[in-house]
Structure 1
Amino acid sequence: MKQINFDIEAKSKNLKEERDDLKRKLNGLASEKNLLAGERDTLKRMNSDFQVRNQNLTLERDELKKINLGIEASLKSLTAEKDELIRTISIIEANNTNLTEDRDERRHDIQNNRWEVFEGSAYYVSVGKKTWQESRRYCKSQGADLMVINSQEEQVFANGFNKYMWIGLTDLETEGTWKWVDGSRLTSRYWKVGEPNGQTNENCGNIKTYESLESWNDEQCEMLLNWICEMSLT
C-alpha cells in the first residue's frame, strides 16, 4: 500500500513538473508571439513608409521629367530666337550698309548736282514746272520730299531762290487744316496778307511773293510751277 502511495505521489510530482514546464513553455511562446507581433507591426510601418517614400520619389521623378521637358523646350525656343535674331541682325547690317551707300551716293549727287545744303538738309529747286502732286512724286523719286519750313531762317533761305514754287504744304486732307507733307502741323506761318483764300479750290501751298518774308500763297494743285525738294542729311 505504501508503495502505491509512493508511486502516486511520484507521478503527481512529475505531472506537476510537466505542467509547470508546459506553462513556462507557453509563457515563452506567448512572449515570442508578442515579439513577433511587434516585429510584424514594425515591418508593416516600415513597408508603409517605404511605399510612401517610393510614391514621393515617383512623383518627384515625374515632376523632374516635366521640368526637364520644359527646360528642353525653352532651350529649343531660345535657340530659335537666337537664330532669328542673328538673321535679323544680318538683315539690319545689310540694310545699314545699303543706307550708308545710299547716303554716300546722295551726298555725291548733292556735291555734283544742283542741290544746296542748309542746316542739315539738302535742297533742290527745279528748272521745269509741274503740278503739286507731280512735283512731290519727283522729290520722292530722289529720296526727298517737298520742302517743309520749320523756322524763319529756313523761310528766308527758301525765299532766297527767288522762285514762284511749290512747297510741301497742303490742306487736301481736311479743308482749312494746313499740314506739311511729313504730317506735322504749322508751327511758323508765313502767309502773304489775305492768304490762304482759295478755300476748296486752292489746296496746295507755294512761295509766290518771295521779296517779302510772308510769301506763302494757296493755289490750285494742278497749276504748273517750279518746286523745291528737301532731303535730310542726318
Structure 2
Amino acid sequence: MSHNNPCDARALMSAKGRQCGQSNFKPEEDEQLALAYVKVSTDAAVGTDQTADKFWAKVHNKFNYQRLAGTERSQNSLLNRFNNVLQKEVSKFVGHLAQSLREYHSGWHMQDYVEDAKRKYKDTKKSVQDESVDVVAEGQPTLAQRPLVGKKKAKKLRIEHERGMSSIAQLARIADATEKKNGFIKEHIMMEVFKIDPDSEESKRFFSLKRKQYMNEIEQEMNRDNEDVV
C-alpha cells in the first residue's frame, strides 16, 4: 500500500468526491452518470416531490447497474462528482436533446433522439480538442476547498436541485408530446399516400392491418375498463 496518500477512518472521501483508494472518474463514467441523471429525472413514474436522497439513490442504482467493470461508485461519490463537475455538462446535453426533438425524423423513437443528442454533444467536445469533463471544469473549487455548508446553504442547494429536476421533467413531457405529434404526422402522411389508389393491393393490405390494429386497441381499452369496474 502506498504511504503518499494515507487513508484513515476520518478521510473516507477524497477532494474529487470519490471513495478513498478509488481512481479518478473516466470519461465513460462521466457520460454514464450524466445519462443516469437524465433518465431518472425524465422518468414519468418519478415525482418531483421526492427527497434528494431518494432521487440520488435511484441515480446510484442506475449508474452501478450499467457500470464498467471494477468501477462501482458510492452514492456520495456520484453526488459530489455531479455537483462539482458535471452539472453544466448535463445542461448542455439536455440542450442538445431539446434541439434533436425539434427536428422531425420519420420512424424515430425517443431513444433515437437521445442517441442523436449524444452525437451532437460529442461533436461539441471534439470541436474543443475533445476535452474531458475534467478539463472543462478546470479551475472550479473542489470539495476540499469548500467550507462545510450550513442548514441554510443545504436548503438552498436542495431547492436548486429540485428546480433542476422540475425543468428536466418538463422537457420530458415536451419530448413525449413531440414523439406523439410525430407519430400522428407520420400516420396522416401514410393515410394520404394509400388513399391515392385505395383499390391497389397495397392499400387494401394497409387498411386491413390498420383496422386490426384499431380493433386490438379498442379491445384492450375495453378490457382495462372492465378490470377497473371489477
With normalisation by structure 2, the TM-score equals 0.21
The structure in which a higher percent of residues are strand is 1
Q: Greater Rg, structure 1 or structure 2?
A: 1
TM-score, normalised to structure 1's length? 0.21
Higher RCO (C-alpha under 8 Å, 6+ residues apart): 2
The structure with the greater share of residues assigned to helix is: 2
